Amino acid sequence: MRVVVALVVAVACACAATTQTARAAADVRFGIQDDAWLEAGPGKLHDRVAMIKGLGLSVVRVTLDWNETEPSQGDYDWSRADRLLGALHRQGLAPLVTLWGTPDWASASGLPNAPPTRGSDFQRFARAVASRYPYVRYWTIWNEPNKVQWLKPVSPSLYVTRLLNPGYAGIKAADPLAKVAGGVTAPRGGKGGMTPVDFIHGMARAGAHLDAYAHNPYPVYPGDTPYSGGCSCKVITMATLERLLTQVGRAFPRARIWLTEYAYQTDPPDPYGVSYALQARYIAEAARRVFTAPKVDMLIQYLFRDEPDLARWQSGLETVRGKAKPSMDAMMLPLTQVSRRGRRTTVWGQVRPGTGPREYELQSWNGSRWVVNGGLHETTARGY
């Protein structure tokens, strides 16, 4: 059966709409992370995973807490990981597993954000995890270690010698084909932290081993968009993605780039968030931005559903009550205007999942009704 997807181009006047295909990074993967919703959201786990797959996404990031999985040295509890990772694997979604959280027995302070006293303990854990889940090919070591909330003290050297390099060695010993990312930095370090630029080069000086550099390019300034904003400083947001490409290119010339958390909070309910319409627009613009960026292989949306606590994140594709926002459609079918000259508008989009050519038609608003522009077109193999 032939499926035709209609892409609507909302412009104020009658126009000719065309699509743009640009050189993309090799096989960009789009995904999502929402550990709490995935684990304990409404309905059955199988159905929640099916909802993610229905959006056309291919990667789901899951945090695996070392302190919960190995509460006593050598004593493993795999129940949570078996359930979540197995459910993703059975439906053909690729897990991106983040290892974090030091057990109290493995550090002097007993805090999860402390580096382990011995990197060999983390190496053994990483090898055990990778051995148990051979179908997991994407791994990140820790989360936002340039912030004191996640690693104390903030130290690129400690991160590399106690966490990244031992984790890399352990995973590769179990699966030489696995891809392991380091960094996983926040856009800025904050009080007691370190900028991502300084952290990148500190990692390089410490001799970091990695296949990819991961970063969370959240907006941090009012008015930040995927293409504009930021500052001429060492903060790295989506708006200053070129800074990340440049700094990682200098420090780790062979490393790929993974953008492992990205989102816009919405108003309502967050008074500091953007409108629902802007959230949807920025999701589409961010997809195009990574599509055209060299070396970027992955972009992960943070949250499927808003968190109930307003002090936390309201960046979901649906409200806390389960009502879909416009961003739900934007995630499934990102479409954004590239340029407009006179009566001609050029748009970029992707029909997800990008698992083969799809036929589509462009429609534009002529002032009173939607009209088809140019008949049927066909996407690339990746849906663009």
**Tell me: the pLDDT tens digits for 220-240?**
988 999 999 988 899 999 999
* Bridge-based pairing state of the strands 335-341 and 344-349: antiparallel
DSSP alpha helices (H): ranges in the chain?
A: 35-40, 45-54, 66-69, 79-90, 119-132, 156-158, 165-174, 196-205, 241-251, 276-292, 326-332
- Read off the pLDDT of residues 322-367 as tens digits, 9 standing for 90 and up: 999 999 999 999 999 898 888 788 889 999 987 888 888 888 778 8
* Bridge-based pairing state of the strands 359-365 and 370-378: antiparallel
6: pLDDT confidence band, cut at 50, 70 and 90? very low
pLDDT at 59 over 70: yes
Q: Give a yes or no: residue 355 inside a domain.
A: no
The radius of gyration computed from the CA coordinates of the chain, to the nearest angstrom, equals 21
Q: Are 261 and 299 in contact (CB under 8 A)?
A: no
The residue segments making up the domain with residue 177 are 34-262
Q: Give a yes or no: residue 85 inside a domain.
A: yes
- Read off the pLDDT of residues 232-289 as tens digits, 9 standing for 90 and up: 899 999 999 999 999 999 999 999 999 999 999 999 999 999 999 999 999 999 999 9
Long-range contacts of 321-326 (CB under 8 A, 24+ apart): 322/42, 325/266, 325/276, 325/279, 325/280, 326/276, 326/277, 326/279, 326/280
DSSP 106: G
Mean pLDDT is lowest, of 16-30, 173-187, 349-363, for 16-30
Determine the pLDDT at residue 15. 39
Q: Give a yes or no: residue 337 inside a domain.
A: no
**CATH of residue 77:** 3.20.20.80
Determine the pLDDT at residue 310. 84
pLDDT at 75 over 60: yes
Q: Give a yes or no: residue 124 inside a domain.
A: yes
* Bridge-based pairing state of the strands 59-65 and 94-100: parallel
Q: Give a yes or no: residue 267 inside a domain.
A: no
pLDDT at 12 over 50: no
Instruction: Specify the number of domains making up the chain.
Output: 1
- Read off the pLDDT of residues 276-328 as tens digits, 9 standing for 90 and up: 999 999 999 999 999 999 999 999 999 999 999 888 999 999 999 999 999 99
371: pLDDT confidence band, cut at 50, 70 and 90? confident
DSSP 35-93: HHHHHH-SS-HHHHHHHHHHTT--EEEEEEEHHHH-SBTTB---HHHHHHHHHHHHTTP
Determine the pLDDT at residue 26. 52
Q: Give a yes or no: residue 237 inside a domain.
A: yes
Mean pLDDT value across residues 32-61: 98
Query: Which amino acid is residue 111, in one-letter code?
Result: L
Q: Give a yes or no: residue 83 inside a domain.
A: yes
- Read off the pLDDT of residues 184-201 as tens digits, 9 standing for 90 and up: 999 999 999 999 999 999
Q: Give a yes or no: residue 98 inside a domain.
A: yes
For 181, phi and psi rounded to 5 degrees?
-110, 140
Distance CA 239, CA 222 (A): 12
Distance CA 43, CA 109 (A): 39
Q: Are 214 and 196 in contact (CB under 8 A)?
A: no
